[in-house]
Amino acid sequence: QVQLVESGGGSVESGGSLRLSCVVSGYTYETYCMAWFRQAPGKEREGVAAIDNDDSKNVADSVKGRFTVSQDKAKNTLYLEMTGLKPEDTAMYYCAVDYTGNYYASAGGTIKPANFGNWGQGTQVTVSS
């Protein structure tokens, strides 16, 4: 069983920065894709960024140039560095991992929630204007 625990959320003003972390524990595999998603009230869950075990990355157009995804394999930790935050970035942010090959960041395209079977509980990000 895989456990994912996010942290680092909070409240910031527009233009501010936050770094989210996601620690993965339990039974893991060497080949994977990890991703960040977000969900605002009344909206569908949206893929934000993804990274493969080989550090291939895919970032959604809506956050490209502002958000950076990275990982520390030694710490089994996924990061999302968010800069230039806007009120529309306000959402619950979730990390997820897929070990089944449903999706790889190297393939590009839309990062879809349905391709990921392991999820964290989320961390809230609120950006005020």
Reported as a single tens digit per residue, the pLDDT across 45-60 is 999 999 999 999 999 9
Q: Do the beta carbons of residue 85 and residue 63 sit within 8 Å?
A: no
Question: Mind listing the pLDDT tens digit for each residue in 18-42?
Answer: 999 999 999 788 899 999 999 999 9
Given a cut of 90, whether residue 1 has pLDDT beyond it is no
Which pLDDT value is given to residue 28? 80
Residue with tokens 């456990």: 3
Question: Mind listing the pLDDT tens digit for each residue in 85-128?
Answer: 999 999 999 999 999 999 999 999 999 999 999 999 999 999 99
Which pLDDT value is given to residue 27? 77
Residue 58 tokens, joined:
């895919």
Given a cut of 80, whether residue 65 has pLDDT beyond it is yes
The span from the CA of 92 to the CA of 78, in Å, is 16
